[in-house]
């Protein structure tokens, strides 16, 4: 915030200047030197799913970033656990791959990445900043200061640094950006609260400009509820156990007396099924595919929905035993 301009447009840096970030701290070579690389077929598949080429990040760079994140998070397992190939693959597939590719491309200073980033997030970030500060002027200043930081104007040991390199892909990028905005606003207040009063004479922004689009949130909440209710009871149990209760694949496999790989494959299918179900439900509400995709990017904290209650509805059937599951997997 100290570097924020008094004019909202002063920090609208040209995309050409972003190319200076090619010497940023997080480079493919520095990341690849640490964690073990992904198998090439998996790396290729994840890179394609993330639309890495459109963001300006190579397969090698994206694979290196995934490896670093997997090592840092121990692939979503307990720090003392030793993940196997199925667990590591399940972890990578559960990440927000398109968001991650975009963030890493921007951290590397790729022009294609910054063009996509500004097109997708400039308006939502500005609206979020105005909502946080409750002021149009302060909100634009906060957003502009975040843009300058994300471009990598700060240096460490002679190298430019972008906070986008720290985004792990475990939540949506827009949620990460909103959280970062709130943190920067708190930091600014701590530095200046002894010098300036909390009250401000600035004219508050109009409520309609800062409030989430309630109609879209209602549509998304309804789509989530319908999609999850349409799942089989054992599928809801798996989602709840893995994503809400944070049980490992091994724990779930032991409980259900099936192989760990079976759980991993089932979760991958479920994630794809839920994603397609949400899109279908949103499009059935007269949204185009692009509008549905944008609606799915809403901050989950804005949704008035109890995921645990939806996933823990009474079950009338049990999870298939190992013999049945093996038969299903062979089909």
Q: What is the DSSP string of 30-83?
A: HHHTSSPPPPHHHHHHHHHHTTHHHHT--HHHHHHHHHHHHHHHGGGS-TT---
Higher model confidence: residue 97 or residue 272?
97
Q: Over 90: is that where the pLDDT of 322 sits?
A: no
- Does 11 or 279 have the greater pLDDT score? 279
What local confidence, expressed as pLDDT, does residue 323 receive? 46
Q: What is the mean pLDDT of the chain?
A: 76
- Whether 28 shows a pLDDT value over 70: the answer reads no
112 versus 222: the higher-pLDDT residue is 112
Cα of 328 vs its chain's centroid, Å:
32
State mean pLDDT over 209-233.
74
Map residue 163 onto helix, strand or coil: helix
Secondary structure letter of residue 285 according to DSSP: T
State the angle between helix axes of 59-73 and 85-93 in degrees (0 to 180), rounded to the nearest 10.
110
Coil, strand or helix at 156: strand
Nearest to 174 by CA among 252, 131, 256, 117: 117
pLDDT of residue 27: 39
pLDDT at 132 over 90: no
Distance separating alpha carbons of residues 19 and 151, to the nearest angstrom: 9
Q: Report the Cα–Cα distance between both ends of the chain, in Å, rounded.
A: 58
Domain ranges of the chain: 17-205, 214-330
* Spatial separation of the C-alpha atoms in residues 88 and 75, rounded to whole Å: 6
pLDDT at residue 21, as a whole number? 38
Task: Tell me what pLDDT residue 53 has.
Answer: 93
Strand locations in the chain, DSSP E? 154-156, 159-161
Ramachandran area for residue 51 (φ above 0: left; ψ -120 to 50: alpha; else beta): left
Residue 191: predicted pLDDT:
66
Residue, of 323 and 236, whose pLDDT is higher: 236
Greater confidence, 84 or 287? 84
Residues 247-263: tens digit of each pLDDT: 888 888 888 888 888 88
Percent of the chain at pLDDT > 70 equals 70
Can you tell me the mean pLDDT for 20-45?
A: 57
User: In the prediction, which pLDDT does 229 show?
Assistant: 85
The per-residue pLDDT for 29 is 39
What dihedral angle (degrees, nearest 10) is formed by the CA atoms of 55, 60, 63, 65? -70
């Amino acid at each position: 915030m100290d570097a924020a301009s008094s004019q909202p447009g002063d920090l609208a840096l040209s995309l050409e200047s972003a190319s200076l970030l090619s010497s940023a701290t997080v480079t493919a070579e520095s990341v690849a030197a640490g964690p073990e690389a992904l198998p090439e077929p998996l790396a290729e598949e994840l890179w394609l799913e993330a639309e890495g080429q459109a963001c300006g990040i190579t397969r090698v760079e994206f694979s290196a970033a995934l490896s670093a994140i997997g090592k840092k998070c121990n692939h979503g397992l307990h720090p003392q656990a030793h993940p196997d190939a199925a667990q590591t693959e399940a972890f990578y597939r559960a990440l927000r791959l398109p968001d991650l590719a975009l963030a890493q491309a921007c951290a590397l200073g790729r022009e294609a990445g910054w063009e996509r980033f500004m097109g997708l997030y400039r308006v939502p970030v500005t609206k979020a900043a105005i909502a946080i500060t409750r002021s149009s002027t302060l909100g634009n200043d906060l957003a502009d200061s975040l843009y300058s930081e994300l471009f990598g104007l700060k240096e460490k040991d002679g190298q430019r640094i972008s906070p986008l390199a720290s985004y792990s892909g475990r939540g949506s990028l827009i949620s990460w950006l909103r959280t970062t905005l709130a943190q920067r606003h708190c930091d600014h207040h701590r530095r200046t609260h002894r010098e300036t009063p909390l009250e401000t004479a600035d004219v508050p922004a109009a409520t309609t400009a800062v409030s989430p689009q309630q109609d879209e949130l209602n549509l998304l909440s309804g789509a989530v509820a319908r999609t999850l209710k349409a799942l089989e009871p054992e599928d809801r149990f798996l989602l709840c156990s893995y994503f809400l209760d944070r049980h490992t694949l091994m724990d779930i496999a032991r409980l259900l007396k099936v192989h760990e790989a079976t759980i991993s494959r089932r979760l991958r299918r479920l994630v794809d099924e839920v994603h397609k179900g949400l899109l279908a439900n949103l499009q059935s509400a007269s949204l185009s595919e692009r509008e549905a995709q944008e609606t799915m990017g809403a901050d989950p904290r804005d949704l008035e929905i109890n995921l645990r209650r939806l996933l823990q509805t009474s079950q009338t059937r049990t999870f298939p035993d190992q013999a049945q599951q093996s038969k299903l997997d062979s089909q």
